[in-house]
Structure formats: structure tokens, C-alpha cells
Structure 1
Amino acid sequence: MSQLAQPGAAPSQADLRPALTLLTGFAPEATRAAADLLARADPALLVVGYDLTGLVGDGTVRRTVRDGRGTIEDERTVLEHGCLSCTVREDLLPALVRLARSRPGSDIALVLPPSMEPETVATACSWCHVDGAPVTDAIRIDSVVAVCDPASLLDTLDSDQDLADRGLQAADDDTRSVADTAARQIEYADTVLLWTLDADPAGAADPYEHARLAVLLERLNPWARHLVADLDEPGRLSARLRRSGRFDPDGPEPYGRGLEGYAVGCHEPEPDCGVVATLYRARRPFHPARLHRALPAVAGSTLRGRGHLWIASQPDSIVAWESSGGGVSMGDLGRWLAATPDEEWDESSPERRINADLHWDPDFGDREIQLAFVGLHFAADELAAVLDGCLLTDEEIAEGRRAWREYEDPFGGCFDGKEGN
């Protein structure tokens, strides 16, 4: 049975490395306010912030370091190759290691700018070296906290803009969308913090809307811990956000959850404050042309979709699905185990091999469709009917894979997985 990812075990008391809390979110004011709250609760906490507004123009980034007593560093750095990845490798990671070594008794809170996704930082920490030693020798990621502002959350998740439309792109070729980026920040987090109604200076926030957003966040990331900010008790909130040990460096990758036996979402088809969540599963593949025609209807009716699927004309390729802001992104996740030589199975994780064995189909092997959708006031059964209409019919199944490969395929050449014989 599928299960939700469990948080990593709390670190041993013998682990003396400074704990790193990643604060992510698409509303910079709320994210910085959360960092301020943590600094008030612990004046020794080092708060690191980044301004990437000069990254695309002149290749510069501004890095600030402060604690509860004031600013410690405020530096602007020119990067030879102005992009997000070089910012992380050439400036961020060395700065974190240096701070951890120079102030071993202080934990660190890293306030990520909107265009920097926490997965990028966590992945870099896991494999990069600084001064010849792994970054994780100096620091450990304790938790990833997505800070969400109720005033802008829904508009952000429903936006049809790209980061470049808002001047937030992290490189000249950064084509990510606002909605995708914001959703991935929430989905990667182990803790989701909905900012407080009290922070609205106009006092116009609606308690029902706040409750609706809380439900939406729980549906978007059901494996995280969900909190609501309490400005009156910063110490209590800080204690729940920091040194929780919730980040699991060995947890499933967001796009590979279903392949390893973890749930890709939750199934709550009855509206709760208008929020609907549904899981769609099927063993037979999608017809490429019918799926292509259905894309606008599927993406347009929901706020967010994620998961994996297979297409009849490319039966060896695992296809990742991501939808938000009315758009769809599909990419390659490699080959199905059923299309992989036996001697190469060991290259896949034990979890994936076990999940494949448990759910092996005599006709399709481990091939299957798992898609999770979240939105407002959509009919889950109608969405399922649209997707059912994209599946191969009994007659098409009987034609066999040789005939499937000859189908009209609008997705031809989009996926890199090598086809079998």
C-alpha cells in the first residue's frame, strides 16, 4: 500500500554541526518576517539572505548575514557565469561552510529568494565540496519550511506568468513559470507555514479564506507538517520550526514518489472549503493524440497536477507530469523496469524494485499512470472521465505495441528514454 513519506529521524545529540533551516516561499515579505521571528526567539541565529536582482543583468548577487543584534555582513559578489547554479556553488555553499566554521555554536536560517528552489540547495549540499570536504561535514539541513502569504498564495498558484514576466528569472534561459516554482517550493517542504491573518495591515483578510488556504496547502503537500504563524508566541513557533529533524536527505524525489511506492497526493474528492483533491490511476496507457487534445481541459480545471504516466507510442518511457497555471510540463523519468534489462535493475532504488514486484502486471509490468490533482470547485469524476477517454480502448490494446508505436504522436521526440525492441 502507498504511504506518505515519513520525516527523517531527529539528529543525534552528538551531532554538533550547526542546523540549517531553509525558508522558502514566493512572498519575500512573509519569508523575511518568518526569519525575523526566528531571530527574535534566538538572537544567536545567523540569518542569511540573497538578492538576485542583479544576477541576469551584471552577474551580481547581494548576500547579507545578520543575527538578532544586527547586520554582520552585506556584500555584493560578481559571478563569472551569472546563473542560479553558479550562485549556489560559488557563493552560497562557501558562505554557509565559512559561517558554520567561524560560529560553530550558531544555527543558520537561509532565506531563499523566490526564484531559488530549496531542492536545488539541498541537492548541492549533498554532493558539493568546499575546501576539499563535503558541505555536509560542516552543516546539516534540519528542515525546509515553505512560508505562504494568504494575501498572494492563490493568485500565485493560479498565475499564467513566467518568472521572467516579473523580473525574477535566475538566468537568461530561465523559462520556469511562477505557478510551477511556487508549487514546487511547497511540495518539497517538510513543514508548511501559513502566515498569520494578523500580518495584514489593512485588516481585510477573511478568516474563511484563510481556512480555505490552509486546506489547500494540506492537499498540495499531505506529507508535510502544517502550521499557522502565531506572532504572539515567537518562541513557541520557533521551537516547532527549528531543530525538528524533519528533513530527510534520503527521501523520495518529488517526481519519483509514485515509482517508489509513496503516495503522489491524497484523494479527497468532496470539497472542503471548496478545495478538491483527487488521485487518478490506470494501468493501460494514454493514446498520444487524445491526451494531447485533452491537455487544456485537464490543466485548466485544476490548480496543480503532478505524477507520472505512460504513452502508448513510447511504451518504454516514464513520463513526468506537472501542471499549474493552466499549463502542462511533461518530461522524461527514464525507463520502466519492464523495459530495462535484468542486469540493470540494480541501478534503481530498492524501494522502486520492491514496489514494482508488489504491483507487477502480467501485461504491462510496472507501467502505470498515477496523477494527483488539486483545485477549487472542480468535479473529480468529470476530470476522471476526461482522462479515461484518453486511455487505449480494448480494441487498441489488442492491436499490440508494434501498432501503438505507429500512432500519431504530438509528443514525438519530447522524451529521451531509449525505446526497446
Structure 2
Amino acid sequence: MSQLAQPGPAGTRADLRPALTLLTGFAPDAVEAAADLLARADPTLLVVGYDLTALAADGAVRRTVRDGRGTVEDERTVLAHGCLSCTVRDDLLPALVRLARDRPGSDIALVLPPSMEPDTVTAACAWCEIDGRPVADAVRIDSVVAVCDPATLLDTLDSDQDLADRGLHAAADDARTVADTAARQIEYADTVLLWAPGTAADSAFNTYEHTRLAVLLRRLNPWARHLAADHDEPAAPGPESAAHAAALSARLRRSGRFDPDGPEPYGRGLEGYAVGCHEPEPDCGVVAVLYRARRPFHPARFHAALPQIAGTTLRGRGHLWLASQPDAIAAWESSGGGVSMGGLGRWLAATPDAEWDESSPERRVNADLHWDADYGDREIQLAFVGLHFAADELAAVLDACLLTDEEAAAGPDAWREYADPFEGCLEGKEGIEE
């Protein structure tokens, strides 16, 4: 790792690795515009971009690299197994390491295409090696910035389309949805940027709409830093634009906000982190609800309620347990009116003591702090965000899905005999989609 010892009592070190900023989002024009702003503010910044439109058809990707002075590279590569994972492993990671070595004084901004989710890149950087050395020896991930366009944000989060419907699928078997992908990009980011420079500010509607979207983004990702490039900032180049670019760039780059040891998005609640925020009173129409329960859901009643639960809100996430599968942790994700569920492993209460050390210390501590005499660490934690829905009505729907007193008293042996529409779906993430 490139570090330099500095004088001082603590023997501090300066990290000399190029800082990598990931720019993600489902509005490619806005993401590219944000990258252009960063390049204007720092002409030495290397901006890496990918075009994956031909990936599903013939395994080809186009990679461009530019700085503030122009194009540095423009290459088309055909990968043996055209997919996102091989794009990251076989092309992106070697390119990042090579650029870090060839231009050690230049930071890097990686512009992710809409179908590439940032956790794919951060995980690969953490675990993969290039030429026998970890990628993290060459570059450090500084920040993950989600760039959101107010003109398309709501339609995207409420879309019922798959990526394939828009020609954005990254492989033939890519079954992800538009809404899920966009929501995950926002939720994974440590910085969220509402991008709307140069828009007209002469109407109360624009002011209200931008405020509403800012509230929505804060409810979707309450643990991120939220910024805005709003209508007061000039869109055209010029001295005033340069000053704004420098100011915004200073807030986006070298923030050090990315935490490589942060919780996995689907396991936040298990490790004691919040899965969302509870703001049941509408703010510009935006409602956010946390739902928690100790008892499991009855599988048949819960399955029947899925359309109502998912159709009420824009986004849902968290984990739960089903009476018919009391050993399994179920991940929950809803958006665009659809639901995806999958397995997150076993509850600690269903795990042999000798295997507890395989779970993180945070998870074990959280389980100890909230252990229930009847259910152990089993519980339901769900977060929902949407517009103009009644929080109490949603809670009532979910309450009706819980086991009754009589059902709970019958015990797990009886629960396992319930007819289970979710049978076999908790083997892995995204095991069922409705």
C-alpha cells in the first residue's frame, strides 16, 4: 500500500493511493454531467466510463478514459463470457490498477452505467487481485455518489419494467427490474446528489417538487450525505460556473465517506443498524414507516397481502421470518409494485453454538441485546417509503399477517405444516419475485 510516514507523535501516514469516486444513478445524462463538472474542477481527474449496450448481444464493452484536456483512451473489448461480473473482473479492475500506476498523481472518477450497481465494484475491489496484488493496494474507494435527476426520479422508482424492457440488461439472464436497480443505487451510496442545475426557478411548482424529491431521497437513504446542484447553479460553462464546479467538487471528492466495513445492504437490521427511518406524518407528501414485530408472518396470509403491501409504497426493504420456515432469515425488497425475497441464512437461534463465530461480532452483540425468551433473535424489521399512504393502514395489513395468539401457541412443529407459497424461495437472494 502506498503510504508515507509523517512526523508526529502518532506516526500518522498519508495515503498516496489515487482516490476513486464512484458515480452511480439511473439517469445517465445527469451522471455524465456530474462527471463533467468534476473534470472541469480538476483537469487531472481521470474519468472512466463504460458503454454496455452491446454486452448482452455479443459480449462487447466500450471503455473510455478522459481528463479535463480530452480523451485519453477509447477501447472496445469483447469478453469471453459477456456479463457484468466479467466486465468488472476482466476489464474494469485491470484498467483501474493500470491507470493508478501510470498516473499516480491523478484521482479517478468511475461513471457506472445504469445497469451496474456500485456494490459489484466495491466488493470486487475488496476481494480481487491483479498481478498477485489486491486492487485495494493500488486505489482506494473514497465515495459512492448517487446522482438523481428530478425529471425522471419518481417515474424510475415507480416503474414496473425490467432492465431488459429498456434494453439495459447486462446479460441474457439479467432479470433485475428498473425500480429495484435504481433504489439500490441510491440506498448503497454514501452521498446522494440531486442534480438539477440550470432549471427554471420561476415557479412554486419547481420549488415544491425539488423539496419533495429531496425529502424522498433522505427517507430512502437516511444514512447518506445529501447535496443538491439546484437551479441557482449555472448550467453553462463560464467563470461563475467554474466557481460552482469547484465548490461542489470539493464537497463530492475526497470526502472519505465510503466505509469498506459497513453493513451489507440486506443485513443492516441483523447487525444493529437502522433499516430506515420512521416519519409517518407526511412531509411534502412523503411518508416513511418502520415496522417491527417479534412473531412470524403466516405464509398464506402474507402471500395474499403482497400486492397490497407492495402497491401501497414506492420502496420497501428489510428482513422477516415466516412461521413455516422458522430457521430461515428472509430478505425483503419491494419497488415498482413488485416484490423480491430470498434467503439471508439462518437465525442465530437456529444455529449451533459452535457456528456462531461465523457471524460478525456486530450481529452477535445485537442478538444478545435483543434476545427474546421465545423467539431468540428472530424478528421482523421492514422499512417502507412512499407518497401519500396511511402508515396506520399499512401497519394494520402487516399485523393481520402475523400469527394469532392461538397459532403462536401451537409452536414451530405445527407451523412447519402450514401450506407455504414461499417453499424453496429462501435458498438465496431474490428467490421469489411477485
The equivalent residue for 1:380 is 391
Aligned CA distance change for structure 1 residues 225 and 27 (closer, same or farther; 3 Å): same
Is the 1:197–1:207 Cα contact (8 Å) retained in structure 2? Answer: no
Q: Out of 365, 373, 377, which is 1:354 matched to? A: 365
Separation in 2, partners of 1:52, 1:247: 26
Normalising by structure 1, we get a TM-score of 0.95
The equivalent residue for 1:34 is 34
The equivalent residue for 1:263 is 274
The equivalent residue for 2:95 is 95
CA drift of 1:58 comes to 1.2
Is the 1:25–1:114 Cα contact (8 Å) retained in structure 2? Answer: yes
Separation in 2, partners of 1:409, 1:134: 45
1:245 matched to 2:259? The reply is no
Is the 1:151–1:205 Cα contact (8 Å) retained in structure 2? Answer: no
The equivalent residue for 2:118 is 118
Q: Out of 371, 379, 384, which is 1:368 matched to? A: 379
5 Å-filtered alignment, 1:308-323, equals 308-323=319-334
Aligned CA distance change for structure 1 residues 207 and 67 (closer, same or farther; 3 Å): same
CA drift of 1:379 comes to 0.3
The equivalent residue for 1:175 is 175
1:51 matched to 2:62? The reply is no
- Which amino acid letter does the alignment assign opposite residue 213 of structure 2? L
Aligned CA distance change for structure 1 residues 197 and 203 (closer, same or farther; 3 Å): farther
The equivalent residue for 2:195 is 195
The equivalent residue for 1:410 is 421
Specify which structure has the bigger relative contact order, considering alpha-carbon pairs within 8 angstroms and separated by 6 or more residues. 1
Separation in 2, partners of 1:264, 1:120: 21
- Which amino acid letter does the alignment assign opposite residue 269 of structure 2? G
CA drift of 1:203 comes to 9.4
The equivalent residue for 1:276 is 287
1:217 matched to 2:229? The reply is no
Is the 1:287–1:311 Cα contact (8 Å) retained in structure 2? Answer: yes
- Which amino acid letter does the alignment assign opposite residue 105 of structure 2? G
5 Å-filtered alignment, 1:314-333, equals 314-333=325-344
CA drift of 1:205 comes to 7.2
Aligned CA distance change for structure 1 residues 226 and 360 (closer, same or farther; 3 Å): same
Aligned CA distance change for structure 1 residues 202 and 106 (closer, same or farther; 3 Å): farther
Normalising by structure 2, we get a TM-score of 0.92
1:296 matched to 2:312? The reply is no
Aligned CA distance change for structure 1 residues 184 and 262 (closer, same or farther; 3 Å): same
CA drift of 1:413 comes to 1.1
**Count of residue correspondences:** 406
Separation in 1, partners of 2:22, 2:371: 38
Q: Deviations along 1:101-133, whole A, 9 cap, x unmatched?
A: 000000000000000000000000000001110
Separation in 2, partners of 1:80, 1:310: 40
Q: Deviations along 1:344-366, whole A, 9 cap, x unmatched?
A: 00000000000000000000000
Q: Deviations along 1:322-362, whole A, 9 cap, x unmatched?
A: 00000000000000000000000000000000000000000
Q: Deviations along 1:372-391, whole A, 9 cap, x unmatched?
A: 00000000000000000000
Aligned CA distance change for structure 1 residues 79 and 270 (closer, same or farther; 3 Å): same
Is the 2:200–2:206 Cα contact (8 Å) retained in structure 1? Answer: no
Is the 2:201–2:207 Cα contact (8 Å) retained in structure 1? Answer: no
The equivalent residue for 1:146 is 146
The equivalent residue for 1:234 is 245
Aligned CA distance change for structure 1 residues 239 and 178 (closer, same or farther; 3 Å): same
SS in 2 for 1:43: coil
5 Å-filtered alignment, 1:386-401, equals 386-401=397-412
Is the 2:280–2:289 Cα contact (8 Å) retained in structure 1? Answer: yes
Separation in 2, partners of 1:17, 1:307: 35
SS in 2 for 1:160: coil
Separation in 1, partners of 2:122, 2:334: 23
Unpaired stretches in structure 2, ≥5 consecutive residues: 1-11, 235-240, 429-434
Unpaired stretches in structure 1, ≥5 consecutive residues: 1-11
CA drift of 1:416 comes to 2.2
Separation in 2, partners of 1:312, 1:89: 40
The equivalent residue for 1:185 is 185
Aligned CA distance change for structure 1 residues 48 and 204 (closer, same or farther; 3 Å): farther
Separation in 1, partners of 2:51, 2:160: 24
The equivalent residue for 1:307 is 318
Separation in 2, partners of 1:62, 1:244: 29
CA drift of 1:202 comes to 12
Please list every run of at least 4 consecutive aligned residues from structure 1 whose deviation after the TM superposition is greater than 3 angstroms: 199-205
Please give the root-mean-square deviation of Cα atoms over the aligned residues, in Å: 1.5
Is the 2:330–2:343 Cα contact (8 Å) retained in structure 1? Answer: yes
Separation in 1, partners of 2:292, 2:187: 20
- Which amino acid letter does the alignment assign opposite residue 263 of structure 1? A
